[in-house]
Structure 1
């Protein structure tokens, strides 16, 4: 399996969410603007909490945490407007996440962060998503994401399948690219979308494009406990952002992490 970092591919069977009607169910997905130099995707899971990928909160050059004052969540961002604009009060990164410039299965497994907003979003059109237990291989999933060629409105890919779950890493057939790091991966098993993972990296398996994310459950529970314990103070290291890609083979999964 060949792997890199995340977003959407042109041939991924996407449905653009350009209108209010199309985007109605997805207003709690937002663009996470980082220092005016880049963005990731995040999703509201409580009025004051956004779920995203941990690596979005690191400077790719210094490998240090970025200044929380340079991060803003734009809920439902579409065509120059957002349903709500919120600054970040605090961010909690999984305590076992290591940002060292290398994309590996260990990094993907712990690539999760919770952002506490300065003020809660209480808007009848922006309903936080529930999270769900890990899906099983063969289950249908979908991704709602912004990306480098779709920075002004999100798109939905709802034709993905769960291919495998290996040591806490969820492998899906969703095809991703830059900008959708942190994007929610949804299950539709209960009749409404529930978040089961977030996009961490992209990959190839026998020439097929796939995405990787951390399985929630225990990983999310650790973050919630960190939040309750009052942890998650940012280091004031200058702004920047997001992801790093590297070419290397992972011995546990047989995956070769690649540059896109």
Structure 2
């Protein structure tokens, strides 16, 4: 794979927008975004953001590199991480502080070979308070998609940081192990965005966006499959592993967890 993909990790700071011809649909209204309320913006220290998705009432899924400071290479203080469910035009359906996080044990932020990182570029964040809302329903996850399968991506990025957008039709170009090459066109801020398969009654998350790359001269997204990695992360979380922030639970929940605004 490393012979034909020029991959590089998405930066935490949003830098550019998706191409104009990528088939993006803005989810900036209640009706447009109703089916995607569990996708939210992951704010990091008030200066950067990624995309993340609620997969249980108290768990969100994102990319591992979102939890590292790009300048220092150190893990970010988790007390400075906040999940904004269905963030849209200055309001969120729920605001929650991050309590604890687990990163795939094979992930190393400072690995000099990006392709070595991508297959494990996935993290699970436990929230201080669960999100119990009839409008914010956690997404289930699904099996690793196959070559040629149609998928879609919901993400935030620069110049659309105030509302997510949906690219409903892209496809799996190829894949090796847990690394997927997708025809989806992503940009900075899309890190951690959910990649959905559309079989069944409701979309299921099959991957998270880890990087962008070039394939045959065309921009593509590189995703980390969730089928194998997510059970491992949940096991780690259940075992009490991972890391937490410097704030106490009481202060974090009072500061963020109590805020709730219905759309």
TM interval, shorter chain, is 0.7 to 0.9
Instruction: Identify the residue that residue 61 of structure 2 maps to in structure 1.
Output: 51
Aligned mate of 1:4, from 2, 8, 16: 8
Q: Look up the match of 1:193.
A: 203
Structure 1 gap segments, 5+ residues each: 237-260
Is the 8 Å Cα contact of residues 99 and 245 (structure 2) preserved in structure 1? Answer: no
Separation in structure 2 between the aligned mates of residue 10 and residue 102 of structure 1, nearest angstrom: 28
Aligned equivalent of 1:61, options 67, 71, 76: 71
Cα deviation, 1:188-226, whole Å, max 9, x if unaligned, reads: 012321000000000111111110111111111110110
What do the CA deviations read for 1:24-62 (whole angstroms, capped 9, x no partner)?
000000000000110000000000000000000001122
Aligned to 1:108: 118
**Alignment length (residue pairs):** 236
Higher RCO structure, 1 or 2 (CA under 8 Å, sep 6+): 1
Contact between 2:191 and 2:209, CA under 8 Å: does it hold in 1?
yes
Write the mapping of 1:139-178 to structure 2, written as runs, cut at 5 A: 139-178=149-188
**Tell me, what secondary structure is at the counterpart of 1:221?**
helix
More strand by share: 1
1:160 deviates by 0.5
Matches within 5 A, 1:1-260: 1-6=5-10, 9-11=18-20, 12-100=22-110, 102=112, 104-234=114-244
Deviation at 1:101, TM superposition (A): 6.3
Distance in 1, matches of 2:130 and 2:245, equals 23
- Tell me if structure 2 keeps the 8 A contact 1:68–1:234: yes
TM-score, normalised with respect to structure 2: 0.87
Q: How far apart, CA to CA, are the structure 1 residues paired with 2:149 and 2:171?
A: 6
What do you get for the CA RMSD once the two structures are aligned?
1.3
Match of 1:257 in 2: none
Change (3 A) 1:103 1:118: farther
**8 Å contact 1:162–1:172 — kept in the other structure?**
yes
What is the CA-CA distance between 1:64 and the residue it aligns to? 1.1
